[in-house]
Chains A and B, each alone.
Chain A
Amino acid sequence: MKHLFEGLELGRATRDAYGEALRELGRLHPEIVVLDADLAKSTKSAYFGEEFPDRFFNVGIQEANLVGMAGGLASCGLVPFISSFACFIVLKGFDQLRMSVAYPRLNVKVVGSHGGITAGEDGASQQSVEDVALACSLPGFVVCVPSDEHQTRAAVEAAYRHVGPVYIRTGRPKVPLVYEAPPADFAFGRALEVREGGDATIVANGTMVAAAIVAHERLRREGIMVRVLDMASVKPLDEEAVRRAAEETGAIVTAEEHLVHGGLGARVAQAVCRTRPVPMEFVGLEDTYAESGDAAALLEKYGLTADRIVMAVRKVLARRKGS
């Protein structure tokens, strides 16, 4: 992974940060209960389970039942955090997320690990590339894709404080640090400007924020100053930050470890159209599934790199010039 993120220090996996943050929240808030579907050692919800066995339910390999049970627990005043791989909990539990969580607006926190193609060697069946689109489609859901361990901690705490359904996507591999500590100004619905610039804007989340920072540094050496927005909160989206970026920089590139349709790029495009239309380019997984391989090799093969973002920035700048 390191060669893809030159100049950045490798931190821990976001799923590890989730497990630790959840365990700490559990010490403070007895109403938190945690459910997993036989992947607690992988999602890291096991950290909570080891310390609070009475408030931890491993329901076995049953994602639909897992989500339904969480609805029942939430309707009785408890605050369930439920975990599995992102593709299983969101896709297998989708109708249950709709009927037992979103429709009754219950206070359930859904945390899907192994998001994106960096889940790696296990192959496309375990890689989640549709989860953000699906979660965003559920009315009332907050959807968040944190970029590093520190932001994950902030997101997990924000999820606890928020009353209502939340989806957080975490990842399997260690990822570069974007922040030095949990960002104090983190909030759902607020973009964090991690690099300043006025020539164009990259709106990214998850693993792609680090790639966007690398792209920023490369372009800076050429005298092109690109703003980087960490848009962990895909929903609600910080429309005001998007509008300002469009107005002040005149060109936007989005980057996400997800299908290009239906995820961050689509939602930013909607905001751009609604506020200040400018040329846009989209970096993400095209209309395909990936395959087995190590995380870095997959990011390179499927075009989720700083190189691709740089190319997209050049393209969007050329389009703006031509328009």
Chain B
Amino acid sequence: MREAAPDRREGRTDFAALRDRATTIRRHIVEMLAEAGSGHPGGSLSAVEIVTALYFGGFLRYDPRNPEWPDRDRFILSKGHGVPVQYAALAEAGFFPVSELATLRKINSRLQGHPVLGATPGIEASTGSLGQGLSIGLGMALAARLTGRDYRVYVLLGDGECQEGQVWEAAMAAGHMRPENLVAIVDYNKFQLDGAVADIVGLEPFTEKWRSMQWRVREIDGHSFPEVVEGLSWATEQDGPACLIAHTIKGKGVSFMEGENAYHGVAPTEEELAKALAELEGALPRAEHSIEREAAEEKEAGR
């Protein structure tokens, strides 16, 4: 017997709640990266609204108590270096305790430096070698058809990642095969490790590239919840694969990281963390979330 599917629409239009959740996720990101002492803040922070909308805006259908529920929707973080944003969302969604975020990148942790299928509840694919997630997602989307299930597959790609040839192999194949349950989202934050995407190998004309591969394409502001929610709704209603090109700011939400590519792969220091948290505290109406506090609360609750 199939379990009743939670309503995908729940929470979709409560933008204030989504914004609070996004701030909480940003706090988790900077805290866990500071604790880990390494990792990728810029590309994690740029994807916060996209990931928050997917998990808490009524798009992804999941059950944290049953992460391998066959009818769940799949979310693949193809830009695997941005995994802190997904770990934060998974913890917030109840897949594992928030306190576990402090184990990121440490020995014996379930939270590996890049996503690993089978290591962490809620992670759907091993990524980190860029370019592979869309192919995996296409396979999953076709599997839904073959197994008679109606789940959807969302793949989040990096902009720099779209320089990988495999992305376009998968895009071309999906455009031909036309799965209706496949959505690609590009976190177009304009930077990659070595500098500006436009200076290294530019993607433009970017929407035309996807369109020419027979995808439905829309550009959105990747930090505006109304636009992200509306874009995702639109994408799921298309008669073939759909791509959202989300214009974002690398390091979004932490003033000294915004558009500052030095934070592509450098964790905040203790001092920077305090500054970042102070900024984010201001953004949160009820600033009561921190890894330490939640860990203490969980301990108290005997979890």
Write the B99-139 contact mask toward A (1 if CB under 8 angstroms, else 0).
Answer: 00000000000000000111000001111110110111111
Known A-B contacts A68-B170, A72-B138, A105-B118; the reply to A78 vs B143 at CB < 8 A is yes
Q: Is the CB of B129 within 8 A of A99?
A: yes
Does B93 belong to the interface (CB within 8 Å)? no
Q: Which of A69, A71, A73, A98 contacts B173 (CB 8 A)?
A: A69
Q: Across chains A and B, which 7 residue pairs bring their CB atoms closest together, nearest first?
A: A72-B139, A68-B135, A76-B143, A65-B169, A69-B139, A104-B117, A62-B169
Does A77 belong to the interface (CB within 8 Å)? yes
Say how far A236's CB is from chain B's closest CB, in angstroms. 21
A-B CB pair tally, cutoff 8 Å:
111
Known A-B contacts A100-B132, A100-B136, A103-B116; the reply to A65 vs B126 at CB < 8 A is no
Closest to A70 in B: B139
A65 contacts across to B, CB distance below 8 A: 135, 138, 166, 169-170, 173
Interface of A is mostly: helix
* Stretch with Cβ within 8 A of B (4 or more), from A52-60, A111-119, A185-193, A291-299: A52-60
Does A275 belong to the interface (CB within 8 Å)? no
Does A95 belong to the interface (CB within 8 Å)? yes
Say how far B196's CB is from chain A's closest CB, in angstroms. 26
A77, A80, A104: residue with the most chain B Cβ atoms closer than 10 Å: A104
Q: Give chain B's interface residue range (CB within 8 Å of chain A).
A: 20 to 34
> In the complex, A75 Cα to B115 Cα: how many Å?
15
Task: List 8 interface pairs A-B (beta carbons < 8 Å), by A numbering.
Answer: A65-B138, A69-B139, A71-B125, A72-B142, A77-B147, A96-B166, A100-B125, A103-B116
Q: Which of A54, A74, A76, A99 contacts B132 (CB 8 A)?
A: A99
A57 contacts across to B, CB distance below 8 A: 142, 177
Q: Is the CB of B126 within 8 A of A72?
A: no
Known A-B contacts A64-B166, A99-B127, A104-B117; the reply to A71 vs B136 at CB < 8 A is yes
Does A33 belong to the interface (CB within 8 Å)? yes
> In the complex, A100 Cα to B124 Cα: how many Å?
11
Q: Is the CB of B126 within 8 A of A99?
A: yes
Q: Which of A33, A64, A66, A100 contacts B126 (CB 8 A)?
A: A100
Does B64 belong to the interface (CB within 8 Å)? no
Does B144 belong to the interface (CB within 8 Å)? yes
Q: Is the CB of A96 within 8 A of B126?
A: no
Q: Is the CB of A72 within 8 A of B146?
A: no
Q: Is the CB of A60 within 8 A of B173?
A: yes
- Name the interface residues of B158-200: CB closer than 8 Å to any CB of A: 165-166, 169-170, 172-173, 176-177
Q: Is the CB of A68 within 8 A of B126?
A: no
> In the complex, A55 Cα to B132 Cα: how many Å?
22
A59 contacts across to B, CB distance below 8 A: 169, 173
Q: Is the CB of A100 within 8 A of B135?
A: yes
